[in-house]
Structure 1
Amino acid sequence: MGVEIQIDQLTKSFGKQLIWGDVTLTVPAGEICVMLGPSGTGKSVLLKTLIGLLKPDKGSVVIEGTDIASCPEKDLYEIRKLFGVLFQDGAMFGSMNLYDNVAFPLREHTRKTESEVRDVVMEKMDLVGLIGAEDKLPGEISGGMRKRAGLARALVLDPQIVLFDEPDSGLDPVRTSFLNQLIIDLNAQTDATFLIVTHDINTARTVPDNIGLLYHKHLAMFGPREMLLSSEEPVVRQFLNAQRVGPIGMSEEKDADELAAEQGQDLPPLPPIPLQQEPSNGIPRRGQRPPGEWCRENGVTPPDGSFESTNAGIAV
């Protein structure tokens, strides 16, 4: 069962450089959330702050009643046991084979026998499709396999919160699609709380229950997937629909001349909201809502063609 993460007025700077300020949101227990934002907006910094690797300048991160931004080191050590983390490059130990990489957290943080460790490791490697690759070194396998090995390692302690730092980076679209399905299925099986940092718009539009967007040193918006995918907020609309017209430019913000040149341009219509990706077994996850429910509850008319599927069952 996942746990809730309450983030309040979180602010982080490096020297005089403000990364983001007054970030406030609640990551719901057991749901899948995606955090988006242009490059350099501090998405990975946010993940590192949530697990206590970085201390915020102010604000709080409360998990099960403990504020990890100000708690003693011994309490932080215990809270970290609730987390599993998939780093961008997998963060494998290059001199260890995949089996020992995945077993590492169990040997460090539990008193399990080697027989018990083996049972858990093989279960998680089977879960991510790596049975038969246990003896391979990280340098002998593809980037996609390293991602899956990193995910197996993140899951061996049965975490209640799993953080994914750009899990799709360096992967081709097909592998990204397989990884997204694996994430959906794992959430359905574990009911853990998932927070994914990504730049992949297709992932953001089809996988999560909630979406957040970091922009211009603040949290521009956070809420249910349908809320953001139907939003007319310029920065949200531009980013989630990969449009050139809007406040985001090559250097994050467009200058006055660029914005003036866009005045009077007609924005393309919002694309249809796709169906949310479902678990392989077809049984809805706990955090999954019926298609269009948020729009109906809030009196929002979704873009034409929303929540439809083709004969092949692929959302359009």
Structure 2
Amino acid sequence: MGVEICVEGLTKSFGHQVIWQDVSLTLPAGEVSVMLGPSGTGKSVFLKTLVGLLKPERGSVRVAGRDITRLREHDLYEVRKLFGVLFQDGALFGSMNLYDNIAFPLREHTRKSESEIRRIVLEKMDMVGLIGAEGKLPGEISGGMRKRAGLARALVLDPEIILFDEPDSGLDPVRVAYLNQLIVDLNAQIDATFLIVTHDIASARQVPDNIGLLFRRELVMFGPREDLLTSNEPVVRQFLNGRMQGPIGMAEEKDAAQVQQELAQIDERGPAEGLPPRLLPSPGITRPPRWEAIARREAGLRWEEVSGA
């Protein structure tokens, strides 16, 4: 079962440059959340801060009740065992075959026998559809297969939280569709807490339970998928619809008058698109009910909302 992550008042800077400030949200246990935002808004920095690789200037990140921003290195190492991370390029060792790449965390962090390691590695490779490719090197396989191998490696220590850093980068639309289905199926099978950083709007519309949007150094909104997809917040509508008209510019320098003029033109063309259906697990895979999420949606409650930038 996944664990809840509570972020409160989080601020991160590099020198005098503020990346984002006063970010507060709760990633519900066992659910899939997506973090969106224009390029350069610090989405990957946010992931690294959640896992304790970067230290924020202010705020807290509570994982299983422990604030990782204040833990000593030894205690932080223990909390990190709850995490699995899929990096953009899979981060595979080029000189190792897929089997040894996936086995690496088990050999590095556990004292399991090789027979037990083999059982776990083959189980995870089967989950991501890589059985039969154990002996292949990363350079011999497609980008989609490398992503799946990286995901299998992220799964071998049975994490309760999995972070995905732009898992769709470099993939064609068909491979992205396969990867999205794999993510939904895995979440139903292992019930871990997932957070995905992505630019892919189709994925954001179909995959998550919750969506957040970072813009101009702030968290504009975070909440249930249906709240974001039906929001009238200008920056949310612009980003989800991939339009030039709105607060987001090439260099984020639009003035208020220009934005209002563009938004008025959009309104004349009609309302935003309707709510698309959420991607369901594959046949035969049953997703356990999230009773808290069901109650939240039935009550029409919004988890978190911060005033727009």
TM-score, normalised with respect to structure 2: 0.92
| Match status 1:286 vs 2:289 | yes
The aligned counterpart of 2:30 is 30
The one-letter code sitting in structure 1 at the alignment partner of 2:173 is: P
| Match status 1:211 vs 2:211 | yes
| Match status 1:145 vs 2:145 | yes
The one-letter code sitting in structure 2 at the alignment partner of 1:153 is: R
Q: Quote the Cα distance in structure 1 between the aligned partners of 2:58 and 2:22.
A: 8
Q: Quote the Cα distance in structure 1 between the aligned partners of 2:132 and 2:122.
A: 10
1:265 Cα deviation after fit = 1.4
Q: Quote the Cα distance in structure 2 between the aligned partners of 1:240 and 1:263.
A: 14
SS in 2 for 1:181: helix
What CA deviation, in whole Å up to 9, does each residue of 1:67-105 have, x standing for no partner? 111111111000000000000000001111111110010
SS in 2 for 1:33: strand
| Match status 1:272 vs 2:274 | yes
Q: Quote the Cα distance in structure 1 between the aligned partners of 2:264 and 2:203.
A: 31
The aligned counterpart of 2:61 is 61
SS in 1 for 2:144: helix
CA RMSD of aligned residues (A): 1.8
The aligned counterpart of 2:305 is none
Q: Quote the Cα distance in structure 2 between the aligned partners of 1:49 and 1:16.
A: 18
What CA deviation, in whole Å up to 9, does each residue of 1:157-192 have, x standing for no partner? 010000000000011111000100000000000010
The aligned counterpart of 2:2 is 2
1:2 Cα deviation after fit = 0.2
SS in 2 for 1:252: coil
Q: Quote the Cα distance in structure 1 between the aligned partners of 2:75 and 2:301.
A: 44
What CA deviation, in whole Å up to 9, does each residue of 1:85-128 have, x standing for no partner? 00000000111111111001001111100000000001111111
Correspondences of 1:98-177 after superposition (within 5 Å): 98-177=98-177
Q: Quote the Cα distance in structure 2 between the aligned partners of 1:14 and 1:67.
A: 21
Correspondences of 1:210-229 after superposition (within 5 Å): 210-229=210-229
> Does the Cα contact within 8 Å between 1:205 and 1:229 map onto a contact in 2?
yes
Q: Quote the Cα distance in structure 2 between the aligned partners of 1:287 and 1:185.
A: 15
TM-score, normalised with respect to structure 1: 0.90
The one-letter code sitting in structure 2 at the alignment partner of 1:88 is: Q
What CA deviation, in whole Å up to 9, does each residue of 1:27-49 have, x standing for no partner? 00000000000000000000000
> Does the Cα contact within 8 Å between 1:209 and 1:287 map onto a contact in 2?
no
SS in 1 for 2:266: coil
| Match status 1:243 vs 2:243 | yes
The aligned counterpart of 2:81 is 81
Normalized per residue, the structure richer in helix is: 2
Q: Quote the Cα distance in structure 2 between the aligned partners of 1:154 and 1:180.
A: 16
The aligned counterpart of 2:184 is 184
> Does the Cα contact within 8 Å between 2:246 and 2:263 map onto a contact in 1?
no
Moved more, 265-274 or 249-258: 249-258
SS in 1 for 2:70: coil
Which runs of 5 or more residues in structure 1 are unaligned? 301-316
Q: Quote the Cα distance in structure 2 between the aligned partners of 1:78 and 1:264.
A: 52
1:249 Cα deviation after fit = 1.1
Q: Quote the Cα distance in structure 2 between the aligned partners of 1:66 and 1:13.
A: 23
Which runs of 5 or more residues in structure 2 are unaligned? 303-309
Percentage of pairs with the same residue: 69
1:297 Cα deviation after fit = 4.0
SS in 1 for 2:273: coil
> Does the Cα contact within 8 Å between 1:279 and 1:285 map onto a contact in 2?
no
